[in-house]
Structures are given as structure tokens and as C-alpha cells.
Structure 1
Amino acid sequence: MNREDCKCPKKWADLAIDRRDAMELRHLRYFAGMVEAGSLMKASERLHVAQPSLSVHLSNLEVELGTTLVTRSNRGIELTDDGRLLYERAVVILKHHQDAINALKARKGKPKGLVSIGLPSTLPGIISAQLYTMLRSELPDVRLYIADASTAAIYEWLHEGKLDLAVLFSLPENSGVDLIPLYVDEFCLVGKPANKPVPAEIEFEEILNFPLVMPCRSTAWRKILDDVAERRGKALHSVIETESLSALRSMALSGECYALLPRSSVIEEVRDGRLQARRIVNPDMRGVMSIGSLSGRELGRAATEVRDIVVRACAALRDDLPLETEQPSQSHVLRVKPSTLFPIPASATR
């Protein structure tokens, strides 16, 4: 290097960047910490790294990537589009890194660590107590995080790497998820028990004659109902639509209306006679609930054992929600195509 080069700070900076290895995990960890804290000052306190040092790390990262990742103001930092992309990928990379460490440590003893699972809103209430008992007895060093959300959100979080496991409703085979069937759920017309005996089944077109309350249009269940109605040239109308299953149950219990709900959401009320659930047929509105993990991603020991516990916990539901020994025929099984609710990541179709 000649003297002229030594006088040029920019060339020295370029040389320092060239000599550095590619982006390190700590850079991603610092960057994610800054984003989640909302400012360099708060990130400094959380990460126990001096604020000037964090500022240098951020500047070096932007120089290395050739883009601006954040904008700074008196309110803190805000992500640019490139910064948002890096943050989303960083969260996944850091989780995979921690998963790998946990998996290796788990091989040396009892499973331990955090396992995250997404459950549809119909399920937590009927298996949560049993999950607690089984986990406490069999996996005392494992902490389970349960995300209770819509099918669309659970599916998306699973593909983003934010969840280890997810319980999902009748996904098609090209969904990018490895599935283990749990039970068959079915749509029912739910209301107060009638004063006289009524058939256990009711045809789809007959339900249009009842005052109805339904899940809102953002849910997978409602999407299925609307698709069936549209194919028959009909439309479903409801005075109230909501994502709240407890609200739908309460309205059905009032006796003023009927709710269209999966049987799993009213098992206890049907058992004790407070509600009556008539299975909707023509078409048979059934679908398979399964627990799944992302295809191609190896589950750690803790996640694998949690998955097995969920399978066993759901087996207790088989009296009310049987899983046929033979897979139900395609004509009788509802399959939610993720592309109609949310985009399938490109990796899922490769």
C-alpha cells in the first residue's frame, strides 16, 4: 500500500470491511435488538453494549450491505424496506441458531427449552388442562408457548419460522407442512335443544331458513361456508359476525339464534345438554385437523416430544371427534387451499 492510500480514510474503511468476515450472528443479534428496542439508547441497556459501539455496528452493517437499514429521529429508529427485510430474516436465522444449540444440548439429557405451537381457537379450551398435566409429568424442563390464533395467522407464522408446530385444518398436500392427523371436525348448526326430537343431521340449504350468527369472513371456517354457499348460488347472512367463539356460543345459548360452528368448539355444552349440534350434510362438511411442522426442517427433541403429547391429548377427543381408520374420501372432506386465504411461500411449492 502506498502513502497516497494511507492518506485516504475511505480506502482504509473499505479495507477494514474487506478484511471482515461475512456478516456475523452478533451483528444480526445487535440489529434485531435495536429494532425491538426502538432506539439505540434502549437497545444499549438491553444488550449491555455501549451506545456508540451499537451505532458503529449499525453503520458498518449498512456499509457492508450497501443500503440504509434504518432512519433515525428524535423518536428513535424506523426501518426502511431493506431494514424490514433484514429484520424478518434475522429473526428466523437467530431462532434456527438457538434451535440448533438447544437440539444439541437436549441430546445429552432430558428435553428442555422453549417450544412454540399454534392452536386454532377451537382447540386450546378442550386440551389445555391435559397438556399442562402431561407436560409437567413428562417434560418438566420444557416450556410451551401456545399461540391461539386464526388458521391463516398460524400457517403464516409456521412458514416464517416463528412457530415450531401448528395444528391446522385440512391443508392440501402441497402446503409445505408435514402433517399427523389428530381428529375429524365437522360443521354443525348449533342451538338450544329442541322441545321435540330432531334429526342429528341437517342439509346445508336448510340452514338458510334459521336466524344465524357466524364466524367473520377472515376465518378459515367462514371461508369454507361461503364457498359452499356460492357454489350453490346462495348467500349466507348473519346479523352478527365475530372471531370470538365464546360470543357465538353465548348467542346460541340464548335461544334467540343459531350458530354455525365446528363441533370441537361446543363439545362440553353438547355433553351436558346445554346445546344441540346437528351435523351439516349435503355436502358433508368435515375436515381433518392435523398437527404439522415445516417440511424439510428437522424438529428438535423437545418439539418432537411435545408433538407426540398433543397427538395423545387429542386422542381423548375421539369419542366426540372420531378419526376414521380410513382417510375420508375427497368428496366428503373440506380442504382449505392456503392460496385462497394467504399466499403459499415459494419454498412450499418447490
Structure 2
Amino acid sequence: MQDVKVLLRAIPPAKQERDVVDLRHLRYFVGMIDAGSLMKAAERLHVAQPALSVHLANLEGELGTQLVNRSNRGIELTDDGRLLYDRAVVMLRHHQDTLNALKSRKNKTTGRVSLGMPSTLPSLISAQLYRMVRDRLPEVQLYIADTSTAALFEWLQEGKLDLAILFNLPENAGVDFSPLYVEDFCLVGRPPSGPVAAEIAFEDVLNYPLAMPCRSTAWRKILDDVAERQNKVLQSVVETESLSALRAMALSGECYALLPRSAVLEDIRSGVLQARKIVDPDMQGVMSIASVSGRELSRATVEIREVVIDVCSALGTDLPTPDQGVSGGQILRVVPSTLFASARMAKR
């Protein structure tokens, strides 16, 4: 038995297979060849020249072949050295590309963002919004909901929406907002045969056959409050929440609709409808994109908000931005009572 133990000890342990060449070896080797000499490579790689000589000697020893010829002119590749150099360049490039791709992926904005907007807006900005989100935030999914201002505000407070575009909320509504554009209320109808003024006094609006938003909308609340202050009553044969219905009635030429300019901006530009701004009092306000105060926003939500701001700023002079000024009088801040109720509930 003792003889067997002695015999086993006499047999050398099997040599373990291992990778003897790592990326550092390859990087130094490529650096030497690119520099043309060990001295220049030492300067570029910030490694002492003797250390580079040791790395090169170890690399040749591990691979069992001569990689370079040294001379007074520097170093020149052997055939094996050329093979290693060409493949090492590719390997190092793939390695760096992989690192860059992972870093880029980590820095990409991803996630789902819900955005609410009044029914006047989707047809106006959705196409441009799609293009900007596709180009800037390809990993973000945007969900758009359009409904009344009151519903949008409630959904925002309840967390069903990340962002909402709202009309002139009161200062104490519990939201943070960024102004987008100035909105005008207008008398909208078919263009007349002759010239008419671009503006019309509110009391004169009452002389026209009207189709109006129903009383549950923020727009109608504003109209009714202005009429009450002037001891007037707004009457209409048809009331509806449907923007398309109001537009269709205005296009028919049978009546006029009281609508924000943005609701029919494309029809105005094409000349099929005319919008006369209502004045005395000026009926205008600021549309803003809002989020709940104190609620932390995801990176995707913050960037979608910036996209919406950019889209609305590109609408042109037909919908001026707030920094271009709000003409005449105080900005309307009349909103449905449900908004105030929601704001009070949010503060509790």
C-alpha cells in the first residue's frame, strides 16, 4: 500500500485548462502594434515600458509562438502576430460595443404613461404627439384618454392618470402645472358671404341660433356664469357633450356653436368654418398640463410632459403661448363645482 502512495505522489497533477489571455493582454498587444514601438505604447497606455515587455513575453510564452520581430525600427508583426492582432481588434471592438449597448439600455426611458386631455385636443395634436414620442421615447408607451375637464381632474387626483391637460384650474386645486397655450371661446359657424369682424361681444352672441355644450362641461359652466353676470340667459335647441355633434351642426349652416378655438382649428385653417372671438368680457384662459402636487413622477412621465409642451408650442399663432400674453381682462377661472369638491377632498 505504501508503494502505491509513493507512486501516486510521483505522478504530476494534471494541468488545469484555463484562459491564459485576457482582455488586458489583448489591449496592451494591440496598443503596442498601433503605436509601432514599446516606448510609444508605454506613453499611450500609461504603462511602464519594462512592464509592457514582460506582458509581451508572457503572451508569446502562453501562446507558444513569436508574435513580433523587434528591430531598431520598432516592432513588426509575424504571421501569427498578424492573425492575433486582426482578431484582437475585432474582439476588443465587440467588447466595447457590448458595454456601450448595456449602458445605453440602462439610460433609456421606459414605462407606460397615461395622459388625459379634453375632447378638443386629440384631433389637433395626436399625430404630432405620436411622431415625437416614437422618435424621442421609443421604449415608452403612451395611453391617451379624452373626456370632460371635470372627469380628467378627478381621474388625475385618483391616480388613474399621470398627467392631464386642463383649462384654468384654481390656484388651490392641488396640482402642479405648466402652461401650454391660450384658449379663446368663439362663435363658430359657416363663413358669411361678406366680411365680418373677427370679434363679437358676448351679448350679441345671444342673437344667434346656438348649439352649446351641455351643463356638465367646464365650457358651459363658464358661459352660464358670464351670462348670469350680465343678467342674460343662454338658450339652445340642442345641448351635447359631443364635440363632433357641435362641429357638424356648425358645418350645416343651420346654427352656430360656442366652442374653444382649438376645437375647430383645422376647419378654420381650411376655410370651412369661421371662429369669431367672444369679447366683452374676453372669454379666454390658459390650457396647462398638470400633475398632482407632491406625487413623484417617473422619468417617463417627466419626459412625456416635455414632449406635450413642445407639441403645443408648435401649434403656431392660432393658439398663442402664454408668454405671448392674454389679451384683455382677467383670465377666466370658472370651473365646475365638481372640480372644487375634488380639490377639497384631495387636501383632506
Stretch deviating more after TM superposition (107-116 or 197-206) = 107-116
Q: Deviations over 1:176-200 (max 9, x none)?
A: 0101000000100001101110000
Matches within 5 A, 1:104-119: 108-119=106-117
The match for 1:279 among 277, 280, 285 is 277
Give the direction of change, closer, same or farther, for the CA distance of 1:172–1:233 in structure 2 (3 Å limit): same
The match for 1:305 among 290, 303, 328 is 303
Matches within 5 A, 1:291-302: 291-302=289-300
Which residue does 2:90 correspond to in 1?
none
Which is higher, the Rg of structure 1 or of structure 2?
2
Distance 2:327 2:126 in 1: 31
Give the direction of change, closer, same or farther, for the CA distance of 1:214–1:197 in structure 2 (3 Å limit): same
Which residue does 1:253 correspond to in 2?
251
Distance 2:219 2:188 in 1: 14
Distance 1:231 1:255 in 2: 30
What is the number of equivalent residue pairs in this alignment?
A: 245
Helix, strand or coil at the partner of 1:298: coil
Which residue does 1:269 correspond to in 2?
267
Determine if contact 2:119/2:147 at 8 Å carries over to the other structure: yes
TM-superposed deviation, 1:316? 1.3
* TM-score, normalization by structure 1: 0.67
Give the direction of change, closer, same or farther, for the CA distance of 1:341–1:294 in structure 2 (3 Å limit): closer
TM-superposed deviation, 1:341? 4.6
Which residue does 1:57 correspond to in 2?
none
Matches within 5 A, 1:7-86: none
Gaps of 5+ in 2: 1-103
Matches within 5 A, 1:1-350: 108-325=106-323, 328=326, 331-337=329-335, 339=337, 341=339, 343-346=341-344, 348-349=346-347
Determine if contact 2:150/2:338 at 8 Å carries over to the other structure: no
* TM-score, normalization by structure 2: 0.67
Identity among equivalent pairs (%) = 67
Distance 1:240 1:124 in 2: 24
Give the direction of change, closer, same or farther, for the CA distance of 1:173–1:345 in structure 2 (3 Å limit): closer
Q: Deviations over 1:294-324 (max 9, x none)?
A: 0001111000000000000001113211024
Helix, strand or coil at the partner of 1:279: strand
TM-superposed deviation, 1:113? 1.3
Aligned amino acid, residue 302 of structure 1:
A
Q: Deviations over 1:243-302 (max 9, x none)?
A: 111111111111111000000001011111100100000000001000011000111100
Determine if contact 1:175/1:338 at 8 Å carries over to the other structure: no
Distance 2:215 2:225 in 1: 11
TM-superposed deviation, 1:107? 10
Determine if contact 1:204/1:280 at 8 Å carries over to the other structure: yes
Determine if contact 1:171/1:338 at 8 Å carries over to the other structure: no
